[in-house]
Amino acid sequence: MARRAAIIGVGQTKHGRREDVNYVELIYEAVKAAIADAGISPDDIEAVAQGSMPSPMEGVNANHLYWADAMTAFGKPLLRTATCGSVGMSIAHLATYHITSGMFDMVLAVGAQKMFEGDPQGTMATVADPWFQRWFIAGAPGVFSMQAHQYMYRYNLPEERVREAAARISVNHHDNAMDNPYAHLRFKVTMEDVMKSRIIAYPTRLMDVCPSSDGACAVIFASEEKAKKMGRKVAWVKGMNYAGDEHFFGDSDKVVWEAAIVAAKKAYQQAGITNPRKELDVAEVYNPFTYQELIFYECFGFCDFGKACELVEDGVVLRGGELPCDPSGGVLCTNPIGATGLLRVAEAALQVTGRAGDRQIAGAKTALAHAMGGACQFNGIMIVGSEL
């Protein structure tokens, strides 16, 4: 990176069914909180990076125009990015590019979604091409269930074993969400609750799946010079990368998943990480589906391919483990999609600055944030750390 960037402030709304506010008011809530957290004035923000799921989600297209007022965008450059589920990570990358390019010293990143206002599945169905794939990969759980099923088959893993590992992830993350005052789903579940919940797309059950949420997240990025003047801990961007597959779901392998592997590998290289399991203290893995999280552990090098169940069985990735994942409760408990990837970055930043409250991993210095988008198409990673 030509110049270094740091996260100096984060803000998020309480997530859930937010019919108490309109879309713009929801975004204002997150932006106001981020500005207060950074201890800056709205006038200090020089540029704005924004994104969400396709605008038909809420029925107001090119919604950066609609959100402008709530993003302090008056008189400033404003860019929108759109990569579906990974959009929150793309926004964080876009804001970082603004800083590292040398063009700006303080940039606001904003992601949000109001999923109770429209028809999320109907909107997501229109992300696939209208000729070949819309029929078959409409409805997010179907695609990710096919990926999960292929994973078990590839390594000849007993279905019961993978089922149990996925259920333990669900139980763990629901426990974690109890520590996160902003989380949407805050209730405990048992192994039995998960394994007996309704099958929605075999092998995936209801409690393997994230909710639909309303929510917003705002993160303020600053140059090294500005960040050092803050006079308090900031989260430094240590490495980041983004990679994608072809649009056709059947064109590439989703088990040894190149887009996820490449995104992580290049981010590790930038951050100087050679052994992620040892060198990362915490990871916010994008996990709308429990089974998919197992695949990510392998693609991110937390373990060898085919060995992710062991990480769960040995507690490595659970509460109190060597590399705890999703102490916020993750996507599984909170999913305002346009904000979700940025929330991973915000949570990682809170962890490495020791400000994550009841969900703090003691002594966390290096954290991974991740997001995935499209029908198994895109992956983005950002590594943040407490030291420059």
CB of 257 to another protein, least distance (A): 13
CB of 246 to another protein, least distance (A): 5
199 touching another protein, by CB under 8 A? yes
Contact 28, 70 (CB under 8 A): yes
- Binding to another protein (CB under 8 A) within 248-307 occurs at 248-251
Site size toward another protein, by CB under 8 A? 41
| Residue from 1, 3, 21, 265 binding another protein (CB under 8 A) | 21
Of 17-25, 75-83, 351-359, 361-369, the window that binds another protein (rule: CB under 8 A) is 17-25
Dihedral angle, C-alpha 227, 233, 239, 243, nearest 10 °: -90
The verdict on whether omega for the bond into residue 203 sits within 30 degrees of 0, i.e. cis, is: yes
- Binding to another protein (CB under 8 A) within 40-79 occurs at 56, 59
Tell which phi-psi region holds residue 354, choosing left (phi > 0), alpha (psi between -120 and 50) or beta.
Answer: left
Binding marks (x or -) toward another protein, 169..188, rule CB under 8 A?
Answer: --------------------
Reference 138, options 121, 153, 162; nearest CA is 121
Joined tokens for residue 385: 């750390």
What is the residue whose two structure tokens read 């990871």? 283
CB of 210 to another protein, least distance (A): 14
Binding marks (x or -) toward another protein, 120..149, rule CB under 8 A?
Answer: -xx-xxx---xxxx-xxxxx-xx--xxx-x
CB of 312 to another protein, least distance (A): 22
Residue-wise DSSP of 68-117: GGGGT-TTS-EEEE--GGGHHHHHHHHHHHHHHTTS-SEEEEEEEEETTS
* Interacting residue ranges for another protein, rule: CB under 8 A: 19-21, 56, 59, 119, 121-122, 124-126, 130-133, 135-139, 141-142, 145-147, 149-150, 153, 198-204, 246-251
